[in-house]
Amino acid sequence: MDNLQTEVLELEFNEFSKGNVAITENDFAKILLRYTYLNAEEYDAYLERLMDRVKVERGITFEEFRDFCRFLNNLEDFAIAMRMYTLADRAISQSEFSRAVKICTGFSLSKHLIDTVFAIFDDNGDGMLSYREFIAIMKDRVHRGFKSSAKSEGWDAFRHCMKHEMKQTQSK
C-alpha cells in the first residue's frame, strides 16, 4: 500500500519538479489548490500572497510533500483534533498545528513545510489558521478530487485502504 501511494505521489511531484530534488513553494501551492472550489481570481490571490510571504525559496522536497499528502489522508481525524482547539472558532498557531498533526498521523511535518502551509492559507494574516482558512478548503479539495475524477472509485478504495492500514499500524 505504501509503495503504491508513494508511486502515485511521485508522478504528481515529478510533473512539477522536472528532475529537480525539490519543487518550488509555488508549485506546492498549485498542487494543493488544484482540486479546490476556488475561482481563478481567488486562486491567483493565494499564489500571489504566497510569493509575497516566502522570504527564502528553499523548495519542498519529495519527503515533505509525501508526508503532507499522508497528513491530508487523515484530514478528518485532524479536523476532530483541531476542533478541540477551535471550540470557540479560535484559530491555531504553528506549534498547535504541528502537535495536532503528530497526534493524528504519528509523524511530524518539517518547520519549513508548516511555514509554507501557513503562508498559503493564513487568509487574514494573523499568523494562525482557522477552520475556515484551512480545513474548509482542503476538505472540499479531497471531496472533489475523489468524486469528480474518472478514477474516483479507485481513489476511494485506495483511501479507505490507506486509512485501514494506518489504523492497523497505529494499533500495533
Work out which of 15, 48, 57, 126 binds Ca ion, going by CB under 5 A. Answer: 126
- Pick from 81, 128, 138, 166 the residue near Ca ion by CB under 5 A: 128
Binding to Ca ion by residue 90, rule CB under 5 A? no
- Applying CB under 5 A, among 14, 20, 108, 124 the residue interacting with Ca ion is 124
96 lines the binding site for Ca ion (CB under 5 A): no
Integer CA distances (angstroms), 164 to 73, 74, 154, 171, in order: 11, 11, 15, 11
* Beta carbon nearer to Ca ion, 30 or 132: 132
CB closer to Ca ion out of 64 and 122: 122
Measure the CA–CA gap between 24 and 82, rounded to whole angstroms.
28
- Taking CB under 5 A as the rule, does residue 25 contact Ca ion? no
Interaction between residue 82 and Ca ion (CB under 5 A):
no
**Grid cell of 11 as nine digits:** 508522478
Number of residues lying near Ca ion (CB under 5 A)? 4
DSSP 125-143: -SS-B-TTTTHHHHHHHHH
| Contacts of residue 107, Cβ cutoff 8 Å, sequence gap at least 6 | 67, 70, 101
Q: Residues in the site for Ca ion, rule: CB under 5 A?
A: 122, 124, 126, 128
